[in-house]
């Protein structure tokens, strides 16, 4: 079955530091890949998605992710963390472009 | 259009009671998805519709759960004889078939006491 694994259920970074959230996927063919963000008591908001057009994907709020087929990875980065980035981040895969399968999430804490 | 709307936002019910949730998708979206999210976990897929047809149901969806989308617009998710393990956030999402981007509602938080 298709799945994603997020390394680290909690990540803490200082304000202004690099954000790196790790995600590895399992898929026999290149799938559709996503990063979603969830703020407390809110639904999920799409940050960015990979659909095979380009390996480096730019999203909202300064986030980007790079699809690396050789490593089956789709890590999320942001050069400089902001306090407002504190939230839960979910990596997700859609093998056939319909239902989405989510990872367990990584909670990002921003230290002042 | 204000996005995907879910009602109610919160529901507290006693064990054994039936509950029904409603989801109104974005108006031109023909696909509608239901997910369940428990504390500390990612959302788990339950079922999805394309127009009024239910195309896939997860094995997680016990026979106490039923979902409908009778006219291909709004959808309802009913849980019969609720159990404490049903306590979770129930999320609805919608999309256009062929477009991978799904838009999520704010969810209905169910607490079974």
Whether B77 shows a pLDDT value over 90: the answer reads yes
Whether B1 shows a pLDDT value over 60: the answer reads no
Cβ contact, residue pair A105, B107, below 8 Å: no
A45 touches chain B (CB under 8 A): yes
Residue of B1 and A32 predicted with greater confidence: A32
Q: Which residues pair with B78 in a beta bridge?
A: B20, B66
DSSP per-residue codes, B62-103 = -TTEEEE-TTSS-EEEEESS--GGG-EEEEEEEE-TT----E
Model confidence at B98, in pLDDT bands (50, 70, 90)?
confident
A92 touches chain B (CB under 8 A): yes
Burial of B107 from C-beta contacts in 10 A (0-12 / 13-18 / 19+): buried
Q: What is the least distance, in Å, from the CA of A94 to any CA of chain B? A: 8
Number of Cβ within a 10 Å radius of residue A63? 20
Q: Is A84 helix (H, G, I), strand (E, B) or coil?
A: helix
Give the pLDDT confidence score for residue A96 in this predicted structure. 81
Pairs of residues, one from chain A and one from chain B, whose beta carbons lie less than 8 Å apart: 54
User: A42 Cβ partners below 8 Å, 6+ apart?
Assistant: B106
Whether A28 shows a pLDDT value over 70: the answer reads no
Interval A69-95: pLDDT, tens: 889 999 999 999 999 999 999 999 988
Chain B residues with beta carbon closer than 8 angstroms to that of A51:
100
Q: Is B4 helix (H, G, I), strand (E, B) or coil?
A: coil
Model confidence at B6, in pLDDT bands (50, 70, 90)?
very high
Cβ contact, residue pair A46, B105, below 8 Å: no
Among chain A residues, the shortest Cα distance to B47 is held by A99
- Judge contact between B93 and B106, C-beta under 8 A: no
């Amino acid at each position: 079955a298709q799945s994603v694994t997020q390394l680290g259920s909690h990540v803490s970074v200082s304000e202004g530091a690099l954000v790196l959230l790790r995600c590895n996927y399992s898929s026999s063919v290149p799938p559709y890949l996503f990063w979603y963000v969830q703020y407390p008591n809110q639904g999920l908001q799409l940050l960015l998605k990979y659909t095979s057009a380009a390996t480096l994907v730019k999203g909202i709020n300064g986030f980007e992710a790079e699809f690396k087929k050789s490593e089956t990875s789709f890590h999320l980065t942001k050069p400089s963390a902001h306090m407002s980035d504190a939230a839960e981040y979910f990596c997700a895969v859609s093998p056939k472009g319909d239902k989405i399968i989510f990872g367990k999430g990584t909670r990002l804490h921003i230290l002042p | 259009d204000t996005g995907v709307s879910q009602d109610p936002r919160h529901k507290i019910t006693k064990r054994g009671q039936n509950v029904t949730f409603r989801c109104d998708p974005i108006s031109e979206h023909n696909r509608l998805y239901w997910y369940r999210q428990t504390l500390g976990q990612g959302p788990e897929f339950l079922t999805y519709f394309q127009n009024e047809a239910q195309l896939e149901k997860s094995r997680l969806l016990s026979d106490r759960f039923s979902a409908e989308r009778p006219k291909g617009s709004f959808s309802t998710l009913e849980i019969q004889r609720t159990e404490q393990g049903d306590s979770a956030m129930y999320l609805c999402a919608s999309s256009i078939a062929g477009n991978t981007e799904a838009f999520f509602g704010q969810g209905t938080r169910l607490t079974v006491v």
